[in-house]
Amino acid sequence: MATERKDLTAALAQSIKAIDDDYKDEMRELRALFAEAKNEAEKDEPDGVKLKALLADANEMVRTFTILDPAWQAVQRVARMFGML
Protein backbone atom coordinates (compact mmCIF):
# COMPACT_ATOMS: atom_id res chain seq x y z
CA MET A 1 0.00 0.00 0.00
CA ALA A 2 2.84 2.40 0.81
CA THR A 3 4.35 1.84 -2.65
CA GLU A 4 1.02 2.63 -4.29
CA ARG A 5 0.80 5.89 -2.31
CA LYS A 6 4.34 6.82 -3.34
CA ASP A 7 3.43 6.14 -6.97
CA LEU A 8 0.28 8.24 -6.58
CA THR A 9 2.23 11.04 -4.92
CA ALA A 10 4.84 10.99 -7.71
CA ALA A 11 2.14 11.02 -10.41
CA LEU A 12 0.35 13.93 -8.75
CA ALA A 13 3.61 15.87 -8.42
CA GLN A 14 4.33 15.25 -12.11
CA SER A 15 0.82 16.43 -13.04
CA ILE A 16 1.25 19.60 -10.98
CA LYS A 17 4.55 20.31 -12.72
CA ALA A 18 2.98 19.76 -16.16
CA ILE A 19 0.17 22.19 -15.32
CA ASP A 20 2.70 24.75 -14.07
CA ASP A 21 4.76 24.37 -17.23
CA ASP A 22 1.95 24.43 -19.79
CA TYR A 23 -1.30 25.89 -18.51
CA LYS A 24 -1.05 28.21 -15.48
CA ASP A 25 -4.36 30.10 -15.06
CA GLU A 26 -6.82 27.93 -16.93
CA MET A 27 -5.87 24.86 -14.87
CA ARG A 28 -5.66 26.57 -11.46
CA GLU A 29 -8.56 24.58 -9.98
CA LEU A 30 -7.28 21.23 -11.22
CA ARG A 31 -3.82 22.04 -9.89
CA ALA A 32 -5.35 22.81 -6.48
CA LEU A 33 -7.15 19.44 -6.47
CA PHE A 34 -3.94 17.62 -7.40
CA ALA A 35 -2.00 19.48 -4.70
CA GLU A 36 -4.60 18.66 -2.06
CA ALA A 37 -4.69 15.00 -3.14
CA LYS A 38 -0.88 14.86 -3.08
CA ASN A 39 -0.80 16.32 0.43
CA GLU A 40 -3.40 13.80 1.58
CA ALA A 41 -1.55 10.87 -0.03
CA GLU A 42 1.70 11.91 1.67
CA LYS A 43 0.19 11.66 5.16
CA ASP A 44 1.14 8.72 7.36
CA GLU A 45 -2.54 7.78 7.52
CA PRO A 46 -4.35 9.39 4.59
CA ASP A 47 -8.13 9.66 4.62
CA GLY A 48 -9.05 7.22 1.86
CA VAL A 49 -12.54 8.64 1.40
CA LYS A 50 -11.23 12.19 1.02
CA LEU A 51 -8.47 11.05 -1.35
CA LYS A 52 -10.93 9.14 -3.54
CA ALA A 53 -13.28 12.13 -3.63
CA LEU A 54 -10.46 14.49 -4.62
CA LEU A 55 -9.31 12.15 -7.38
CA ALA A 56 -12.89 11.67 -8.63
CA ASP A 57 -13.35 15.46 -8.81
CA ALA A 58 -10.03 15.78 -10.63
CA ASN A 59 -11.08 13.04 -13.05
CA GLU A 60 -14.28 14.90 -13.93
CA MET A 61 -12.39 18.15 -14.35
CA VAL A 62 -9.85 16.49 -16.67
CA ARG A 63 -12.66 14.96 -18.74
CA THR A 64 -14.31 18.35 -19.10
CA PHE A 65 -11.04 20.01 -20.02
CA THR A 66 -10.23 17.41 -22.69
CA ILE A 67 -13.65 17.95 -24.25
CA LEU A 68 -13.52 21.75 -24.16
CA ASP A 69 -9.82 22.42 -24.83
CA PRO A 70 -9.96 21.86 -28.62
CA ALA A 71 -12.88 24.29 -28.89
CA TRP A 72 -11.04 26.86 -26.76
CA GLN A 73 -7.93 26.51 -28.91
CA ALA A 74 -10.02 27.12 -32.03
CA VAL A 75 -11.58 30.25 -30.51
CA GLN A 76 -8.12 31.55 -29.63
CA ARG A 77 -6.82 30.91 -33.16
CA VAL A 78 -9.73 32.82 -34.70
CA ALA A 79 -9.29 35.67 -32.20
CA ARG A 80 -5.59 35.89 -33.11
CA MET A 81 -6.48 36.00 -36.80
CA PHE A 82 -8.59 39.06 -36.14
CA GLY A 83 -6.02 40.65 -33.84
CA MET A 84 -8.10 40.23 -30.71
CA LEU A 85 -5.40 38.37 -28.76
> Over the stretch 57-72, which tens digit does the pLDDT of each residue have?
999 988 887 887 777 7
Residue pair 58/33 in contact by the 8 Å Cβ criterion = yes
From CA 11, how far away is CA 19, in angstroms rounded?
12
Where exactly are the structural domains of the chain? 2-81
Q: What's the confidence (pLDDT) of residue 22?
A: 73
Residues 19-42 have a mean pLDDT of: 85
Residues 20-43 have a mean pLDDT of: 85
Which range, of 39-43, 56-60, 64-68, 81-85, averages the lowest pLDDT?
A: 81-85
Q: What's the confidence (pLDDT) of residue 1?
A: 61
